[in-house]
A and B are shown apart, each in its own frame.
Chain A
């Protein structure tokens, strides 16, 4: 099996300031990679740099589409935009960043569908209902504006909006941050199910080690813009080798 996404020696600086440095990642189909570290460690810079939100200074990003390998940093802007609308998806920490608040819930979900050329109203409506059902939002809310939704519902709507075109690679930046724990459990359960059902490949950023432990197969631990340790998720969390990872793991409060 070939990795669907591989990142080699990626660097991103803000002036003299390190955003992230010397980052590598291999993501196989159906795999979830977690990126952890304290705030300011470069997690978000990294995920933004590999998903097309930021332009890294150097490095290589290869995406395997099944037919060909795409050099993500070398392709034309239009092809990149197409990829971002079809094969890639980005779930923001704050769903308000990923949704259009003055467009109905159904309109939000259909946006990606229409952008890849679907025009049949009946079919689109059908797909919208299917996805509302998957993310457990009542069908009757389809024409309501997202601003009338709760935080947890907004996050689930954002997930539906992103997954509707069956993207192969999903990037998530703290998808359960800011949600209360019962809503968080619901979203985690949903994400796990979708990963299995749709064989999704996911890069997920979180500072919550418990979230990463439940979702991720592999993990990258970042500090000061660099990866200090990476590997199998439960191995790194149960038998951390680097002093910073040991500190991080031992700082988690036990419930």
Chain B
């Protein structure tokens, strides 16, 4: 379960004339287990910012964010690290990896956090890569030279190899062809059926309908702007 209560978020740009940008005021949102919420609204309205606040990536000035009853509190980074290890999964829009590290290891990494059986983890990684149509020949290469769609699927594989109770998805299907898009959407549905609370940004209506997501227009749930 993900809960946001009365969140205020602003950016203060100290070096640009101390400009203040109020992004959210009194933002409230709740995502239940086994539910998919799709954030909508024009670009720049703060869709990614919501995901980043939940992931502990952005701070907020007031209010409360609770993940399965754990508070996201930046005064205790250790707690956020633990939450990320055990509870929150995040599929970002872009892949950020160390050059030279093979694809298979990138996908295995999150699972190795909780399972030290290399062979078992490797098998699972291979399975999900196959499912996402990443050819075997590519597994031992770094994804940095892959196409946009392939990189995105590696990113999805990495994010979905585990069953996180809470899942944040930032345009996981943006640069995929229709066949691969359906594969990713089916994987997301599987996570929902397993009881994950899922919140995401999906730029196309097709994906939102396919996932039977509850659509939330951010401009309607925050007082800012």
Contacts and interface: CB of A to CB of B under 8 A. Distances in A.
A188 B101 CA distance: 10
Given A235-B56, A238-B57, A192 B98 contact: yes
Interface in B58-107: 58-59, 74, 77-78, 80-81, 96, 98-101
Contacts of B101: 189, 192
B98 A246 contact: no
Given A31-B81, A186-B100, A246 B13 contact: yes
Question: Which of A186, A214, A232, A243 has the largest count of B CB atoms less than 10 A from its CB?
Answer: A232
Given A188-B98, A189-B98, A246-B15, A235 B78 contact: no
A189 B81 contact: no
Contacts of B57: 232, 234-235, 238-239
Contacts of A218: 77, 81
Nearest to A192: B98
A247 interface: yes
B124 interface: no
Contacts of B12: 241
B183 to A, nearest CB: 29
A246 B14 contact: yes
Interface residues of B, number: 21
A243 B17 CA distance: 11
A183 to B, nearest CB: 11
A217 B113 CA distance: 14
A239 B81 contact: no
Contacts of B13: 246
A235 B76 CA distance: 12
A152 to B, nearest CB: 13
Interface in A228-244: 231-232, 234-235, 238-239, 241-243
A55 interface: no
B112 interface: yes
A243 B58 CA distance: 16
A238 B52 contact: yes
Given A189-B100, A217-B81, A243 B15 contact: yes
Nearest to A185: B99
B74 A232 contact: yes
Interface in A175-227: 182, 185-186, 188-189, 192, 196, 213-214, 217-218
A126 interface: no
A217 B77 contact: yes
A221 to B, nearest CB: 13
A213 B97 CA distance: 10
A149 interface: no
B98 A239 contact: no
Contacts of A232: 56-57, 74, 77, 80-81
B87 to A, nearest CB: 15
A129 interface: no
Nearest to A218: B77
A192 B56 CA distance: 22
29 contacts: A182-B99, A185-B100, A186-B100, A188-B98, A189-B99, A189-B100, A192-B98, A192-B101, A214-B98, A217-B77, A217-B81, A218-B81, A232-B56, A232-B57, A232-B80, A235-B56, A235-B58, A235-B59, A235-B77, A238-B52, A238-B57, A238-B58, A239-B58, A239-B59, A241-B59, A243-B14, A246-B14, A247-B14, A247-B15
7 smallest A-B Cβ distances: which pairs? Answer: A243-B14, A185-B99, A232-B77, A239-B58, A185-B100, A189-B98, A189-B100
Given A189-B98, A231-B74, 6 more contacts: A28-B78, A31-B78, A196-B112, A235-B74, A241-B12, A246-B13
